[in-house]
Each structure stands twice: as C-alpha cells, then as structure tokens.
Amino acid sequence: MQQHGDQYIGGEWRPSLGTESVPVLNPATEQVIASVPAGTREDVDAAVAAARAAARSWGATTPELRLDHLTRLRDGLAARQAEIAETVVAELGCPIGFATSVQAALPLGVAHSYLNILAEYEFSEQVGNSIVYAEPAGVVAAITPWNYPLHQIVAKVVPAIAAGCTVVLKPAEDTPLVARLFAQIVHEAGFPAGVFNLVTGIGAVAGAALAAHPDVDLVSFTGSTAVGRSIAETAGGGIKRVALELGGKSANVVLPGADLGRAVNVNVGNVFANSGQTCSAWTRLLVHQDQYEEAVAIAAKAAAKYVPGDPTAAETRLGPVVNARQRDRVRRYIETAVGEGARVVAGGPEAPEGLPVGFYVRPTVLADVTPDATVAQEEIFGPVLSIIAYRDEAHALEIANGTDYGLAGGVWAADNETAAAFARGMDAGQIDINGGRFNPLAPFGGYKGSGVGRELGRHGLEEFLQPKSLQF
C-alpha cells in the first residue's frame, strides 16, 4: 500500500501540516490501496499563499511562454497514458477499456485543444476608442469530482493556466491518486513555483476552506447541485466569481421516424458507461407511446450485454460504482422506483450474482416510469435507465424540460433538421442530434440547477479571463 504524506505546494512536495489521512479504496476489491493526507485549513492557506505569490508574475507572462509549458504538460500526459488508465481503474473501478479510451485519452485531447486555442487567442481588441484586454482572473480554486477525475482536472487547470491564472486543486477524496500523478507531470513540465498547487483532503474541510478563502478570486467546482449551491453562497459572500458544473437528469427524446433500434442501443450504452457515473448521461429515455413496448424490449436486450465484472479484464464493460455509499444509494433508488410502480425489465436492486466483493450494481432498465417519479426527477448517478412514454411532441418537450436540471440531452428523428428544431426548445446546455459525437471544443455546462458557466473550448478559457478597457 502506498502511504503518501505530502502535498504539492509552491513547486515542491511538502509534508502535510495535518496528521490525519484519507484511505483510498479499490472499488472492485474493497481493499485499501493507498492513503493521502487529509489536508487542513493550514495546508490550504499555504497553497493559496503560494498561488497568490505567483499570480502577478505568471499573469504577466506571454501566451507563447505559457504555451511552451503547456506543451510539455500535454507531452507528459501523452507519455503516461497507460499509467493514468491503470490508476483510474484502481481507484475508480472503471473498466480498463473505458479508462484507456476515455479516462486517459479525453484529458489528453482536451489539453491538446487548448494549445491550439491559446496559440490563436487574441487577448486584446480595439473597441471604438478603447482597447479591451482579457486579463487573468487571478487565483483559482479548482474542486473536482471522482467520476472523470483527470478529465475534470485538465478541463479546469489547463485553461486556467493558459489564461494566466494560478491554481489550487482539491480533488475528490475517492480518486486522489490520478491527481497526484497529474501534479508530478506538472512538476516535470517546469512550471514556476506556485502556478499549480495540490491539496488532497475531505471536501467539508479542505474544499470548504479553499472555496471560502479570501485570497481566492474564482471558484471552479464540479459536483452535486447541493454542494454547488453552498459554494455559490460562500463565494457570493466574498464577491468571488464561480463556475459550477453540477448535476443532470438528461432526456433522450426519440421522435417518430427515427431509427428506434439505434437510438435505444446508443442510449443504453450512454447510461451504462462509467457505471452510470456521468452527470450528462441520458438517464430518461422518452419514446412515443406507439413505439413504447418495442423500445422497452430493445433496451432490455441491450442491457444484457453489460455484465458487471473485474475492471482489469479487457472484456468487462461495467465495473463497480465508486464506493459503498454510492452502491447503496443506487439500489435504494431502484427499490423506490419499484415501490412507485415501475417495472424492472433488466437488473434490479439485488446484488449481482457471483460478485460477493466490490461495490457492484446490476445494470437496470425501468419501464412504466412516470414523468414525476422519483427516479425521473432526481439524479441517481448509477447504471439505471428510466423509459417514459409520451403522447406527442409537445408532451415530450414538457417531460424533457420537467426537472430542476438542464445539463444535456439527445434527440433522434428522421432527419437532423427535425431533431435540431425540437432540441432548440429543450432547456439544456448541450444536446446530441441523432447520435452526434462529443466535441471537446464546444462549451460544456448547463441550464437551471445544472450550474453556471462553461467548460471546454474557447468558452472554457474565457471563464478564467476578465476584461479591462482603456479609453483613449
């Protein structure tokens, strides 16, 4: 077992100022594989002080110099793809295939995209008799989740640094090992001391201290809506900027005339990927009432292909969820759905057969779910798909928009124009048309309770910039 006692602060690994540690469990074996420091308020103070000391000088650097450092960071991510994937498998339980193709590869792609954006971005423009400069926001607190641990780090840290900000990262306590690996890559890239800092620890202690710190200028948080609301309240008291990427209850709407088989099969894969631990997952499948039972049968057949198993095995498509608390939460939601009248057509709340150890959940498809059912309104964050019938397009749009969330969605129709016209009426930040692919250059973020601000692409860079105008 790896026992780590240090934090990355001011360009070096320093002993944590606290004595407590956080165990890191392998979700597939339930064994402790490592421990990291439970960062204290004093650790956060030291990290923010280092970031503040470096902020003005780093903010004054040229885009070309920042690009040079970030290129080395990108190359470090590329060189350690296998190690990144193995680390995510160990601490998240993500199947090795998905860890390699998404958990490791996506952050690399995002980092590379920002090299191109930074190289072309104009940090000043003439507006009438003014020159408007885009200046760095200052010291950034980046608080990241466990479901896509490296992607969320890269999606915050890289554009923040590209903008000229300095960063203090507090990763999720369940997945701190890939964050430590990222810090090693940053160190090897030769960034000046204090540009990037890492404090591991518990959210209620280290995360809360970081979000409330008076020397932090901007808080970028990804996680639950409840915690995001608390961070927004804290930041508002300190007049801080916030970027919040929060929960989702996304609808995938299949309109008459669409390829029903493809739409349903893609939806099942979308929900079961990463064991359902994806905030933008299409957890509500909306199908016209005339095609409903056909869609249910297709979904049940597709779900049978997702058999929970050892995440280190190449053939495994579904691993465990991250911890026991999450496993129990997901199972309770399934039980609640059944109690409210849902029909289980695949999976169920029982433990998967042949897996007495590990935080496993059976991949579950629920039919006869009503739009106001608990599982249709609340984010479950597990491999659970709810199928809902609609009468006509107006009814489908009412259901799609009928939650507190508005992060993502999908629309399928006979042609892209019809699907896009329907999608324009959905209250969501990004919507895939007839299976459109994820685009790391497009803004990612939500409406309503799904957050404020955007990540990725040019919009993600501009979250960390602030305008200054000089009039002549």
Answer yes or no: 463 catalytic: no
What are the DSSP calls for 211-260, one per residue? HH-TT--EEEEES-HHHHHHHHHHHHHTT-EEEEE-----EEEE-TTS-H
Asked about 279 being catalytic, the answer comes back as: yes
The 3 state secondary structure assigned to 405-450 is EECEEEEECCCHHHHHHHHCCCCCCEEEECCCCCCCCCCECCEECC
Starting at the edge strand found earlier in the chain, the sheet holding 21-25 runs: 2-3, 32-37, 21-25
| β 384-390/364-367 pair status | parallel
Joined tokens for residue 193: 């001391």
DSSP 191: P
Q: What's the token pair of residue 101?
A: 């193709």
- Nearest Cα to Cα of residue 379 among 271, 293, 461: 271
The two structure tokens encoding residue 241? 């900027």
- Cα 322 to Cα 133, 349, 362: the distances in Å are 43, 17, 14
Q: Buried b vs exposed e over 239-257: b needs ≥16 C-beta within 10 Å?
A: ebbbbbbbbbbbbbbbbee
Helices 393-400, 416-423: axis angle to 10 degrees equals 50
Annotated catalytic residue, options 91, 94, 173, 245: 245
Distance of CA 201 to the CA centre of its chain: 19
Annotated active-site residue in 94, 279, 379, 463: 279
Give 471's contacts (C-beta < 8 A, 6+ positions apart).
Answer: 129, 130
DSSP states of 86-151 as a string? HHHHHHH---HHHIIIIIIHHHHHHHHHHHHHHHH--SEEEETTEEEEEEE--EEEEE--SSSHHH
Which residues carry out catalysis? 245, 279
